[in-house]
Amino acid sequence: MNDIGAHLAAMRNTAPLVQNITNYVAMNVMANALLAAGASPAMVHAREEAAEFAGLAQALSVNIGTLDPDWVTAMEDAARVMNDAGKPWVLDPVAVGATALRRDAGARLLALKPSVVRGNASEVMALAGADAAGRGADAADEVASAEAAARDIATRTGGVVAVTGPVDYVTDGAAAYRIENGSAMMPRVTALGCALSGVVAGFAVGQEPLPATVAALAFYGLAGEEAAARAQGPGSFLPAFIDALAGVTPEALDRGAKVMGA
């Protein structure tokens, strides 16, 4: 892929309205990350309005981090609106293997064929039905162990699956890429994966899901590298990361992206 910076420029040019049905932990971080990246976030989850708002949104992210049954209904309704209108939506299957409510929600949402699934290795393995060692929202499996599960999900949905970790893996079931950008500081701040799923949704507006996802991950990881160079620890990393999301230019992304065919 040699047009990674162009995907960032296109996303910023669109400034897409991204609806997020996300968890309470992530809402603020995610909205700030989307704004800094150049998108327009809206956190809208009530059962009575989620589908109506989806009619206005250009992309949707659905995150099961702090769900309840009403939220699952809102997620399914909003996802159907996006599907009917041909608009992209992203599933973030937080801790999907942990409980029956999460496994059921994950299966229902997967059946609606998300444009992109973005999770850590343990989540992608659990979503595919494989044995996973995840503990709560944190990964306990290697990205490499989740590659077959990612291809399996992508084949079932016809969409893209992104497994994130030290080296990210992205596939549409046929082609695959690895992205080496990022910082070990990123998993030490909560909700950065959730926020990434929203950013992926923004990149998918008007762009092919596979290259858009690869570009979003490289962009996000590069911002992580720049923030880590300035931060003293996880606390100061977060504001530095928000600054870096706003500061990375398409030219810097073309220079700094570490993307390889897999």
Ligand X SMILES: Nc1ncnc2c1ncn2[C@@H]1O[C@H](COP(=O)(O)OP(=O)(O)OP(=O)(O)O)[C@@H](O)[C@H]1O
- The reply, when asked if residue 191 is annotated as ligand binding, is yes
Task: Name which of residues 26 to 45 contact ligand Cc1ncsc1CCO (CB under 6 A).
Answer: 26
**Least CB distance to ligand X at residue 93 (A):** 9
Positions touching ligand X (CB under 6 A) are: 94, 119-120, 137, 139, 164-166, 168, 182-184, 186-187, 190-194, 196, 217, 220-221
- Label each residue of 36-101 as H, E or C: HHCCEEEECCCCCCHHHHHCCCCEEEEECCCCCHHHHHHHHHHHHHHHHHCCCEEEECCCCCCCHH
Please enumerate in sequence order all residues whose Cβ is within 8 A of that of 255, keeping only pairs 6 or more positions apart, or say none.
none
Q: In this chain, which stretch among 76-84, 178-186, 189-197, 219-227 interacts with ligand Cc1ncsc1CCO, using CB under 6 A? A: 189-197
| Binder among 10, 59, 67, 94 for ligand Cc1ncsc1CCO (CB under 6 A) | 94
- The reply, when asked if residue 43 is annotated as ligand binding, is yes
Positions touching Mg ion (CB under 5 A) are: 94, 193
- The reply, when asked if residue 73 is annotated as ligand binding, is no
Which lies closer to ligand X via its Cβ, residue 58 or residue 183?
Answer: 183
CA angle 101, 169, 160 (to 5 degrees): 60
Would you give the DSSP letter of residue 27?
H
**Least CB distance to Mg ion at residue 86 (A):** 27
Which lies closer to ligand Cc1ncsc1CCO via its Cβ, residue 186 or residue 253?
Answer: 186
> Is 213 in contact with 200 (CB distance < 8 Å)?
yes
Report the distance separating Cα 233 and Cα 189, nearest Å.
Answer: 10
Task: Name which of residues 104 to 143 contact ligand Cc1ncsc1CCO (CB under 6 A).
Answer: 137
Binds 25: which of ligand Cc1ncsc1CCO, Mg ion, ligand X, none (CB < 5-8 Å by kind):
ligand Cc1ncsc1CCO
Binds 66: which of ligand X, Mg ion, ligand Cc1ncsc1CCO, none (CB < 5-8 Å by kind):
ligand Cc1ncsc1CCO
> Is 62 in contact with 91 (CB distance < 8 Å)?
yes
- Helix, strand or coil for residue 118? strand
Would you state the structure tokens that stand for residue 164, as one six-digit string?
A: 């994130």
Report the distance separating Cα 110 and Cα 122, nearest Å.
Answer: 16
Does the protein bind ligand Cc1ncsc1CCO through residue 23 (CB under 6 A)? yes
| Sheet-wide strand order for 59-63 | 40-43, 17-21, 59-63, 89-92, 116-120, 160-164, 168-171, 176-179, 259-261
- The reply, when asked if residue 175 is annotated as ligand binding, is no
Site string for ligand Cc1ncsc1CCO, 201-240 (x = CB under 6 A): ----------------------------------------
Residue nearest to ligand Cc1ncsc1CCO (CB): 65
- Helix, strand or coil for residue 253? helix
Q: Given the DSSP bridges, would you call strands 17-21 and 59-63 parallel, antiparallel or unpaired?
A: parallel
Footprint on this chain of ligand Cc1ncsc1CCO (rule: CB under 6 A): 23, 25-26, 65-66, 94, 137, 190-191, 194
Show binding-site residues for substrate.
43, 191
